Chains A and B, each alone.
Chain A
Amino acid sequence: MNETNTVELLLVEDNPEDLELALRALRTAKLSNHIQVARDGAEALEFIFCEGPYAARKIADGPKVILLDLKLPKIDGLEVLKRIKGDVRTKMIPVVVLTSSKEQSDVIESYQLGVNSYIVKPVNFEQFTEAVRNLGLYWLLHNQPPKMNEYD
């Protein structure tokens, strides 16, 4: 249903174990096609805004959803979120914060910056898998995104 160069899901995660487990959960839910991984906030922004190694890419090519950790090296998740939601070219991309933190300050600030969903990663892996499966299905299959190319 998508061209091969279209990225459906950008997973921004620095922790290698969390990354592997998240990818395992996505695979279990059969959502592992067209996934791009960024290991810090700076790399995530380069990908989203098609800069540096991603200069050949087009912003209009996605992703369809961004799964964003908050505690990230270089540029933290809240800053990444702020840049995405502060730019007309990217503000309509759904962003799901997927983090360990239940801190109210994080939740409130994320929503103030325009996050579309906030999910706390459960310790229990079965619950984690279930959460990832649900959000993948929701944002990639059920949700109807607007057409992006008019801003490119």
Chain B
Amino acid sequence: MKTPLLPKENKLLPAGAVEVFTETDSKEAVLKAGALQTAIFNSANFSSIATDAKGVIQIFNVGAERMLGYAAADVLNKITPADISDPQELIARAKALSVELATTITPGFEALVFKASRGIEDIYELTYIRKDGSRFPAIVSVTALRDEQGGIIGYLLIGTDNSARKRAEEALLKAGALQTAIFNSANFSCIATDAKGVIQIFNVGAERMLGYTTAEVVNQITPADLHDPQEVIARATALSLEYATPIAPGFEALAFRASRGIEDIYELTKIRKDGSRFPAIVSVTALRDTHDGVIGYLLIGTDNTARRKAEEAVKQLYAELEQRVIQRTAELEAANKELEAFSYSVSHDLRSPLRAVDGYSQAVLEDYGSQLPEGGRRYLQTIREGAQRMGALIDDLLTFARLNRQELGKRVIDTGKLVRGALDELGSPWPDRSVEILVGDLPASSGDPALLKQVWLNFLSNALKYTRKREKTVVEIGCMKTNGADTFFIRDNGTGFDMRYADKLFGVFQRLHRAEDYEGTGVGLAIVQRIIHRHGGRVWADAAIDRGATFYFTLEKENPS
């Protein structure tokens, strides 16, 4: 091949290429190319192979070297492009072309260039075989190189490696039943893109959710175009900071993590075709070929509106609740303060007029008693009793009111000792009475000693009060087990009461007896109940008219099993 193929004076070709091609004359001809050709020849992503008219390789660029694994020196003047193509495919192609063009075409180089030799621009796909025997699909464009008279002086075969695209396609097509099911789901938007982010698959869910048809988006836009741009920018900024590398506020911002092999789930606002927006949870996964190269991305999204709404409702409810708790607490605190101020005022101010009533009545009795008739003296005495009873009522009420505020100083108490202490405190206000008090075995209890002493005092003084009219008073104190809990009891043989009114027994100011029969303020058992409840226990009674009463109480939780 002495005929020059290309113009001689080409200063733009790289040094390496010049070195290779200065070896023979025909190379010189091939070198007469322009700037565009130079650029193509320098590209590492295209294999550019030029042959003479017989097909023997004359130029083999860096792209070809990279793609096929041969050095230029391995192939120049030695083989034809047919030698690096799949022979089976060559045979098939030769057969097909022979049929198509109604002429016999040999299954060699001719099969690759026949169309080009006839002046037909030819692009086909076939499998190239690398030096190491491995194969890859290539898209090859073949053009005939002609001299000034139109005679063919060689061929130019420009090829691209189609394996990435091929694999992406395969990966996308190789989806199994599960994927199909997911893709058919109208509730998930499934969007698959190529490595650059251009949408390749857009399922019914995506169509329904976003309002676009598949045709409107496939090969047209990237998923980033379906997102709130401000959020995409924010995400890009955040990721750039996180990974200390600039990340563009577009599809890269959505796929960056996935591209690094990190399973990524995020929430962003998606924008429908009609401009409306909705919050979506999107999971992004990179689609990879067998060499782990990223060939695309799969974005599975769900509409998060309902959950968002529910979350917001819960949040709002929670905030309202919290507000209400704060308000109630404040109200309660205020009420407590008020109650305290009220008790304090009652304690200070309410008793002083009573002292005046009692004191002046007594003064009248002392100073002028002799001048008063018997009735007048009795009236004054009644006034005094009324004042004193009211004093006792105020004292009991204050004690009762204080019980809720007072802190419980709980400890283990020797109950027997506590009961004896209470009996001592009551003294012997019954010198002319026959009283028998039987105290059984009493286990230790846990509670506030002062408050529990008050309980025993109230029970004991009640027992003594309501047995006053008996010839012989018998009070029995003991303990038994009910529902696994120590149950203390105090039984008397007194006047008892009608069980129909038992529910009134522990109420404040509730009395089941007339004041002239049995004195009292009606607060004692209310105090008892409050103390026992504050200890976590229970109090109840059993009685019958004229047949005595028994009061029971526990100070701990019962187990009714």
- The chain B residue with its CB closest to the CB of A24 is B363
Which of these, B343, B347, B360, B362, contacts A126 with CB under 8 Å? B362
User: Is there an interface contact between A123 and B354, defined as CB atoms closer than 8 Å?
Assistant: yes
- Within 8 Å CB of A70, what residues of B? 348
User: Is there an interface contact between B344 and A121, defined as CB atoms closer than 8 Å?
Assistant: no
Check if B87 is an interface residue, CB within 8 A of chain A: no
User: Is there an interface contact between B355 and A123, defined as CB atoms closer than 8 Å?
Assistant: yes
Which of these, A17, A21, A102, A126, contacts B395 with CB under 8 Å? A102
> Given known contacts A21-B360, A24-B363, what 4 new A-B pairs fall within 8 Å (CB)?
A17-B353, A17-B355, A17-B356, A70-B348
- Complex formed: what's the CA distance from A81 to B390 in Å? 31
- Complex formed: what's the CA distance from A71 to B359 in Å? 20
- Within 8 Å CB of B4, what residues of A? none
- Complex formed: what's the CA distance from A63 to B378 in Å? 41
Chain B residues packing against A (C-beta within 8 Å): 343-344, 347-349, 351-356, 358-363, 384, 387-388, 390-391, 395, 398
Main secondary structure of the interface of A (DSSP, over half): loop
Q: Map CB proximity to B onto A13-53 as digits: 1 under 8 Å, 0 otherwise.
A: 00101100100100000000000000000000000000000
- The contact sample of 7 A-B pairs, CB cut-off 8 A, is A17-B353, A17-B355, A17-B359, A99-B348, A100-B351, A121-B352, A124-B388
CB distance from B319 to the nearest CB of A (A): 38
- The chain A residue with its CB closest to the CB of B362 is A125
The CB with the most chain A CB atoms within 10 A, among B343, B348, B361, B387, is that of B348
- The chain B residue with its CB closest to the CB of A121 is B355
- Complex formed: what's the CA distance from A86 to B11 in Å? 110
Q: Map CB proximity to B onto A81-102 as digits: 1 under 8 Å, 0 otherwise.
A: 0000000000000000001111
- The chain B residue with its CB closest to the CB of A25 is B359
Main secondary structure of the interface of B (DSSP, over half): helix
- Complex formed: what's the CA distance from A20 to B554 in Å? 50
**Known pairs A102-B398, A103-B343, A103-B344; A124 contacts B351 (CB<8 A):** no
**Known pairs A101-B344, A123-B391; A21 contacts B359 (CB<8 A):** yes
Interface residues on A, range: 20 to 34
- Within 8 Å CB of B361, what residues of A? 125
- Within 8 Å CB of A17, what residues of B? 352-353, 355-356, 359-360
- Within 8 Å CB of B358, what residues of A? 123-125
- Within 8 Å CB of A24, what residues of B? 359, 363
- The chain A residue with its CB closest to the CB of B391 is A123
- Within 8 Å CB of B354, what residues of A? 123
User: Is there an interface contact between A128 and B348, defined as CB atoms closer than 8 Å?
Assistant: no
- Within 8 Å CB of B360, what residues of A? 17, 21
- Complex formed: what's the CA distance from A123 to B355 in Å? 5
CB distance from B294 to the nearest CB of A (A): 77
- The chain B residue with its CB closest to the CB of A15 is B352
- Complex formed: what's the CA distance from A122 to B362 in Å? 14
- Within 8 Å CB of B387, what residues of A? 123
- The chain B residue with its CB closest to the CB of A28 is B366
- Complex formed: what's the CA distance from A86 to B362 in Å? 40
- Complex formed: what's the CA distance from A123 to B388 in Å? 6
- Complex formed: what's the CA distance from A101 to B351 in Å? 9
- Within 8 Å CB of A100, what residues of B? 347-349, 351-352, 355
- Within 8 Å CB of B344, what residues of A? 101, 103, 105
- Within 8 Å CB of B353, what residues of A? 17
- Within 8 Å CB of A71, what residues of B? 348-349
